[in-house]
Amino acid sequence: MKRLATALTAILVLAFLVSPAFAGKIEDIKKRGTLVAGVKDSQPPFGYVDEKTNQIVGFEIDIMKFLADKLGVKLDVKAVTSSTRIPMLTQGEVDIVAATMTHKKDREGQIDFSITYFMTGQRLLVKKGGPIKSVKDLASKKIGSVKGSTSEQNAKKAEPTATIVSFETYPEAFLALKQGKVEAVTTDEAILVGLKYSDEKPEAWDIVGDYISPEPYGFGLIENDSKFRDFVNVSLMEMWESGEYKKVYDKWFGKDTKNYIPLTWTMELWP
């Protein structure tokens, strides 16, 4: 017993010793020469692997590139999933997480968020010409969603009699919709657009209804490093004011792309 206690103490002491002394992220990044960003690799057009170059590209990667350029360092992207993004950030394996993450109050306990860099809302993907026109038409019907997203509770709130069936990935939820197992798939509009156009016949599907809930995306940042958070926030505002943001937005969501979503919101700009 005594030996076990000694061993445990030794492990704990060791664990404290190896945890890095807390210096500012900006100094760390500049010293290292790279900004390490955790991004999605299968969420077009936010972050996905380009078939031709085998590189991760996308809207979020372009914004990360802007931040890296401003710091005068190289950008290094690491693919994260919904379950690895927070541990990787808190353990310092990535400096910042840009992974279609909705900024929620309940999520504030573990990490900090940047200001909103992308604004979308939760809507419904349904069969075109079907009976579903809004969330109210889904009373006592089944709605498909994806685990790890915040969509489930929102849909439940909007239509309490509906049953929500959550799947592992969006393609599975879409397959359930095609097989009639669910009447609609619900999540952020920006993701639904990508899902719709991943189908062979995109015209068979429709995105309907008002926004069930607003989904402001924020970058995930480590807690209590206000210097780095300020840098990210101010950079985002500069990007917006200089028109650089619009340029990047149009590249991925503009009229000429298949993911066309009009830019209807305004970034929070501090005076």
Residues that bind another protein (CB under 8 A): 19, 22, 82-83, 86-87, 90, 92, 104, 106-107, 109-111, 142, 144, 147-150, 152-153, 165-168, 172, 175-176, 179-181, 222-224
For 199, the token pair is 């189908």
Closest by Cα among 74, 127, 120, 123 to 101: 120
CA distance 211 to 121: 5
d(CA 261, CA 160): 29
| Closer of 9 and 19 to another protein (Cβ) | 19
Question: Closest separation between CB of residue 170 and another protein, Å?
Answer: 13
Q: How far apart are CA 250 and CA 256, in angstroms?
A: 8
Amino acid (1-letter code) at residue 37: A
Nearest residue (CB) to another protein, 5 versus 18: 18
Is the C-alpha dihedral spanning 42, 45, 50, 54 positive or negative?
negative
- Whole-number minimum distance, CB 164 to another protein, in Å? 8
Shortest reach from residue 242's CB to another protein, in Å: 32
Whole-number minimum distance, CB 15 to another protein, in Å? 9
Query: Which is closer to another protein, CB of 1 or CB of 18?
Result: 18
The smaller minimum CB distance to another protein, of residues 175 and 261, is found at: 175
Q: How far from each other are the two terminal CA atoms of the chain, in whole angstroms?
A: 62
SS3 category, 179: coil
DSSP letters for 98-113: ESS-B--GGGGGT-EE
CB of 33 to another protein, least distance (A): 22
Nearer to another protein, 51 or 106 (CB): 106
